[in-house]
Structure 1
């Protein structure tokens, strides 16, 4: 299992995440459509914020179960977290913020979050 690093645009928020990146998920819900994030879901314990955690701003909406975090300096959403349908704590990593990922080589699953 590999350890990946990433950050927001300005570098105030940095992180490490363990796992194998094999695909991404594009969602068309009201917030994901606007953010344009390509998400990779991992268990919450696989994500470690290495800088800037106290600076993060948190936004929730609808059922308020997903924490859409973002850097207040540059506005970038590097990751979020919440509870999965099975009750486990999950992190949603924005693959566009992970260093060295070839996004063109990834399979992308499309999720119809707008239908919910």
Structure 2
């Protein structure tokens, strides 16, 4: 199914194709603070529709993930695996996706603190 989402102010807009069977709650230091419920998808399934200079990037630790955020409203709509190749993933914050209620999905806990 095709889903569309955005940051709060709408300057960062995206769409992706996926079958949502659940949401992932990561307990790493950034995900737990921002309260994200994530959906992991192949990177090629994510299309960023609008971004301009408003799309910021934050990395930490081993810099394996590019956490994307809107420089205007501060919302973190998705993150991207920075590896090269076909195995690359994107992690969409389901709280930023229109027409779904993430809390109605099964939630799977991921121990990101241990990475």
Give me the TM-score of the superposition, normalised by structure 1.
Answer: 0.91
- Residue 54 of structure 1 deviates from its aligned partner by 4.3
- Residue 114 of structure 1 deviates from its aligned partner by 1.6
Partners in 2 of 1:30 and 1:81 — Cα distance? 17
Which residue matches 2:15? 16
The answer on 1:76 being equivalent to 2:110 is no
Name the CA shift for 1:42/1:53 in 2 (closer, same or farther; >3 Å): farther
Alignment of 1:1-116 (within 5 A): 2-83=1-82, 88-116=87-115
Structure 1 unaligned spans of 5+: none
Alignment check: 8 A CA contact 2:4 2:15 kept: yes
Structure 2 unaligned spans of 5+: none
Alignment check: 8 A CA contact 2:7 2:75 kept: yes
Partners in 2 of 1:22 and 1:99 — Cα distance? 16
Partners in 2 of 1:110 and 1:88 — Cα distance? 22
Runs of at least 4 residues off by over 3 Å: none
Alignment check: 8 A CA contact 2:66 2:82 kept: no
Farther-moved stretch of structure 1 (28-37 vs 53-62): 53-62
Please report the RMSD computed on the Cα atoms of aligned residues, expressed in angstroms: 1.7
Q: How many residue pairs are counted as aligned between the two chains?
A: 114
